[in-house]
């Protein structure tokens, strides 16, 4: 579904991504792990066209590197950024409705689906988004992205700063959307979450992929964990 070959990306003169190769198949949860600052978020931004990509990015057989972000979104890729980017002056319901790709055209996901995933959003439907808790805002931004009916969703650090109960809900959310046939590229620092929900994992270090394998492979590879993941 998504195939990346020889991906490089820069911020000014800083060479952030240095030849990244990775892929995500249909219905698969793939985690991209690594310490802060190694290029994980930049990978998502390059795929989404928010950072200029140098290399090959293919989605469903079509090259998307060089396309504008809105073109990539309309091809079926959703992106949940780390900073959530809710619209604070709008209600929860209005934020969700902004995610709808085509007005008046029924999609795979609707408000009731979002409320079923996270009942708290229905309880807070008429509440301004800026007074929601951090966990509620995370639920909101993930469900808003679903409203655009993506086939692949990239989620950047969804459990950052959240209470353990909300972290558990996020894990259930990931499993449910994968069960629906959607693919997930998860950027995550919590190794425990990634090991539980992923079919495959990549570890990034210094802008390159330094490990690829299954959760069992990573659990048995102490040297990779110590060198690239553990503090």
Per-residue confidence at 41, pLDDT binned at 50, 70, 90?
A: very high
Q: Tokens 């190694």, residue?
A: 38
Mean pLDDT computed over 138-164: 90
Q: Helix, strand, coil: what percent of the chain each, to 5?
A: 35, 25, 35
Does residue 131 carry a pLDDT above 80? yes
Return all residues near 83 (Cβ < 8 A) that are at least 6 apart.
none
Residue-level pLDDT at 76: 94
Beta bridge partners of 185: 30, 154
- Maximum separation of any 2 CA atoms in the chain, in Å: 53
Helix (H) or strand (E) holding 90: none
Residue-level pLDDT at 195: 92
Per-residue confidence at 172, pLDDT binned at 50, 70, 90?
A: confident
Mean pLDDT computed over 137-148: 92
Residue-level pLDDT at 63: 97
Domain coordinates in residue numbering, the chain: 2-228
- In degrees and rounded to multiples of 5, residue 148 shows phi and psi of -85, 5
Does residue 104 carry a pLDDT above 60? no
CB 80 within 8 A of CB 153: yes
Tell me how crowded residue 6 is: count the other CB atoms within 10 A of its CB. Answer: 13
Residue-level pLDDT at 65: 96
Q: CATH fold of 2-228, please?
A: Rossmann fold (3.40.50)
Per-residue confidence at 38, pLDDT binned at 50, 70, 90?
A: very high
Mean pLDDT computed over 39-61: 97
Distances (CA, A) of 29 to 99, 169, 216: 22, 16, 15
pLDDT, averaged across the chain: 92
pLDDT tens sequence across 70-102: 999 999 999 999 887 899 999 999 999 998 876
CB 119 within 8 A of CB 74: no
Alpha carbon 191 to its chain's center: 16
Residue-level pLDDT at 217: 97
Does residue 132 carry a pLDDT above 90? yes
Query: Which residue in 59, 31, 71, 5 sits closest to 155, CA to CA?
Result: 31
Residue-level pLDDT at 105: 60
**CA 77 to CA 61: how far, in whole Å?**
14
pLDDT tens sequence across 181-218: 899 999 988 888 899 999 999 999 999 999 999 999 99
Residue-level pLDDT at 171: 85
- In degrees and rounded to multiples of 5, residue 93 shows phi and psi of -60, -45
């Amino acid at each position: 579904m998504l195939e990346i070959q020889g991906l490089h990306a820069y911020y000014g003169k800083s060479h952030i991504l240095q030849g990244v190769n990775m892929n995500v198949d249909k219905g698969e949860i793939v985690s991209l792990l690594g310490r802060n600052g190694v290029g994980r978020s930049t990978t998502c931004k390059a795929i989404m066209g928010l950072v200029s990509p140098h290399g090959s990015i293919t989605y469903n057989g079509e090259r998307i590197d060089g396309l504008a972000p809105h073109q990539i979104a309309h091809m079926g890729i959703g992106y949940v950024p780390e900073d959530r980017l809710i619209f604070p002056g709008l209600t929860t319901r209005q934020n969700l409705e902004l995610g709808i790709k085509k007005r008046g055209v029924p999609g795979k996901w609707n408000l009731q689906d979002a409320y079923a995933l996270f009942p708290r959003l229905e309880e807070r439907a008429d509440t301004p988004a800026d007074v929601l808790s951090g966990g509620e805002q995370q639920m909101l931004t993930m469900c808003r992205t679903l409203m655009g009916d993506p086939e692949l969703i990239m989620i950047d650090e969804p459990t950052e700063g959240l209470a353990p109960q909300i972290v558990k809900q996020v894990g259930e959310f990931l499993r449910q959307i994968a069960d629906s046939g959607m693919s997930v590229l998860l950027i995550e620092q919590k190794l425990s979450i990634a090991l539980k929900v992923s079919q495959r994992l990549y570890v990034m270090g210094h802008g390159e992929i330094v490990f690829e394998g299954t959760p069992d492979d990573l659990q048995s590879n102490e040297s990779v964990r110590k060198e690239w993941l553990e503090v």
